[in-house]
């Protein structure tokens, strides 16, 4: 027997009156549930109630809520003087400091107060639910209910199953999450849960690319924003969250998965933290910031003033590249004339490898990323020793029909192919090990991290075969286990099955 999650009299207790706790209380109250807040600091709970009341009043003023609904929501808010005031609560959500010993103590105290049917949940972002539940008597009613900051604006909530969490508990929290106006995703109890785990690849692969000297952080950010539709580039994102936050989280997750190389970060990440360049909070991270906090954007690559190429040779079939050249008015030669640029559109390969494979002149060979696209932001690369005059003539031609062109150093998978393939591979691995369903993984990435597509959906954007090829080429060229394709991806690519096909 468990609580009636649809009850009109459902009562939620919240431990902790900080930003997360008061946010949880606000969405509980506006979702039609009683919300009682407790905090050990004198006046903190009442301060949270007053703050929430002000937020509700603002929503009424802006027409987002009727006056009657606003008044009713405020009337559902109350203060608990002690934890014993939670005795009638159907659900208690803990939102306090990330300390396992303190959380266990609080859970044990709550268990002595609430009824045997009441659910106790933690808003933890990093501590395993099963570790918290280990100190409890009734482990089946312990779960995670992980919200994102700011709670009223972030629609996602992770419902996390501990080892002993019952299905009734999970189902009830899913219903309550929806009543709170959130989109619940059911997640296995694992390091990083869903969103913090799934978000690793975007930043760590960008760090690898920058560490290899392939492109500067601001160039990588521009490619991922302009060509791929990410709201923020990976380095902008790290500066925003703080390197002192995202580096330790990356290490926790890496070690939590027993040093799976696909989750490792780069020495550059730690170097930034040790140097005190923590991002916006210190006005210096991967970017510098003005006194008002605004980002000082480095200058991009200057536009090429060279004479645009008029002819080019394509040594192997590349329909998208050929059409693009025709749109530019560039003649496509049937044979290499020994003078004109040689253009290739590799998938996963670096320019050096393709020059060796096809016996091309590396001085005249220019690779263009057509998998990502060329119209919003084109990326070109060359093997070492390329003729700059040839490269600049290619860039000058591309500039006629694109917003920006970035030349990078030789790199298997360019920038965008490589980062998106790693994001997609991690999403597939999460499905493979059962962190969540493929559909919930995609919801987590789009709602929790504002990705343009879910990490598994990203496979469809790139194409299953392309995604697998990029990873295999990266692994073959670099020799790194980091690029090992997930079996989820490999099997569906080889069988030509939809990427969301369940096992």
Q: Which residues are catalytic?
A: 125, 146, 158, 196
For strands 142-147 and 156-161, give the pairing: antiparallel
Instruction: Return the C-alpha torsion angle 171, 175, 176, 182, nearest 10.
Output: 120
- Pair 241, 281: CB distance under 8 Å: no
- Contact in structure between 313 and 342 (CB atoms under 8 Å): yes
Residues whose CB is less than 8 angstroms from the CB of residue 46 and which lie 6 or more positions away in sequence, other chains included: 79
Residue 358's CB is within 10 A of a number of other CB atoms, namely: 12
DSSP 123: -
| Distance from C-alpha of 244 to C-alpha of 241, rounded to nearest angstrom | 8
Q: Which secondary-structure segment (H or E) carries 457? A: helix 457-462
d(CA 365, CA 263): 34
Q: How far apart are CA 75 and CA 84, in angstroms?
A: 21
Distant-in-sequence, close-in-space partners of 476: CB < 8 Å, separation ≥ 6:
none
Q: Largest alpha-carbon pair distance within the chain?
A: 86
Are the C-beta atoms of residues 41 and 164 closer than 8 Å to each other? no
Q: Is the peptide bond before 150 cis (omega within 30 degrees of 0)?
A: yes
CB 344 within 8 A of CB 318: yes
* Length of the chain in terms of residues written: 503
β-sheet with 405-408: strand ranges across: 331-333, 311-313, 342-344, 365-368, 378-381, 405-408
Closest by CA to 488, choosing from 476, 475, 503, 473, is 503
Residues 6+ positions from 93 with CB-CB distance below 8 Å: 12, 13, 14, 15, 21, 24, 121, 122, 123, 145
Compute CA distances 66 → 128, 202, 447, whole Å: 40, 41, 26
């Amino acid at each position: 027997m468990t609580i009636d999650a649809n009850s009109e009299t459902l009562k939620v207790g919240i431990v902790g009156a900080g930003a997360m706790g008061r946010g949880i209380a606000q969405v509980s109250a506006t979702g039609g549930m009683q919300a009682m807040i407790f905090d050990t600091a004198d006046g903190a709970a009442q301060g949270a109630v007053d703050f929430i009341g002000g937020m509700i009043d603002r929503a009424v003023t802006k027409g987002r809520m009727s006056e009657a609904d606003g008044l009713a929501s405020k009337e559902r808010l109350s203060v608990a003087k002690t934890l014993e005031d939670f005795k009638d609560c159907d659900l208690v959500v803990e939102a306090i400091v990330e300390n396992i010993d303190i959380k266990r103590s609080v859970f044990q105290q709550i268990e002595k107060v609430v009824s045997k049917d009441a659910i106790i949940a933690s808003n933890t972002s990093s501590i395993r639910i099963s570790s918290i539940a280990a100190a409890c008597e009734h482990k089946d009613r312990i779960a995670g209910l992980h919200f994102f900051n700011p709670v009223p604006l972030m629609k996602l909530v992770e419902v996390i199953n501990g080892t002993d969490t019952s299905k009734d508990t999970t189902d009830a929290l899913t219903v309550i999450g929806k009543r709170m106006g959130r989109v619940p995703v059911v997640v296995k109890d694992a390091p990083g849960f869903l969103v913090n785990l799934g978000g690793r690849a975007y930043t760590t692969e960008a760090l690898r690319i920058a560490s290899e000297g392939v492109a500067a952080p601001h160039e990588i950010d521009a490619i991922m924003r302009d060509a791929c539709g990410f709201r923020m580039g990976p380095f902008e994102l790290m500066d925003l969250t703080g390197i002192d936050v995202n580096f330790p989280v990356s290490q926790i997750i890496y070690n939590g998965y027993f040093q799976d190389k696909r989750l490792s970060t780069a020495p550059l990440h730690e170097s930034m933290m040790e140097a005190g360049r923590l991002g916006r909070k210190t006005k210096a991270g991967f970017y510098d910031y003005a006194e008002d906090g605004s980002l000082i954007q480095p200058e991009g690559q200057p536009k090429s003033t060279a004479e645009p190429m008029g002819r080019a040779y394509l040594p192997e079939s590349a329909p998208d590249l050929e059409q693009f050249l025709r749109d530019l008015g560039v003649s496509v030669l049937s044979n290499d004339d020994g003078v004109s640029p040689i253009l290739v559109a590799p998938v996963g390969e670096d320019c050096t490898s393709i020059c060796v494979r096809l016996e091309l002149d590396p001085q005249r060979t220019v690779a263009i990323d057509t998998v990502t696209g060329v119209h919003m932001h084109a990326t070109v690369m060359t093997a070492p020793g390329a003729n700059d005059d040839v490269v600049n003539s290619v860039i000058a031609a591309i500039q006629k029909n694109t917003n920006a062109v970035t030349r990078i150093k030789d790199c298997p998978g360019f920038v965008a192919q490589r980062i998106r393939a790693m994001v997609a591979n991690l999403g597939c691995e999460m499905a493979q090990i059962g962190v969540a369903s493929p559909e919930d993984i995609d919801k987590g990435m789009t709602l929790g991290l504002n990705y343009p597509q879910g990490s598994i959906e990203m496979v469809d954007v790139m194409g299953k075969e392309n995604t697998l090829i990029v990873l295999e080429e990266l692994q073959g060229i670099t020799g790194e286990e980091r690029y090992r394709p997930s079996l989820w991806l490999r099997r569906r690519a080889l069988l030509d099955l939809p990427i969301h096909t369940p096992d």
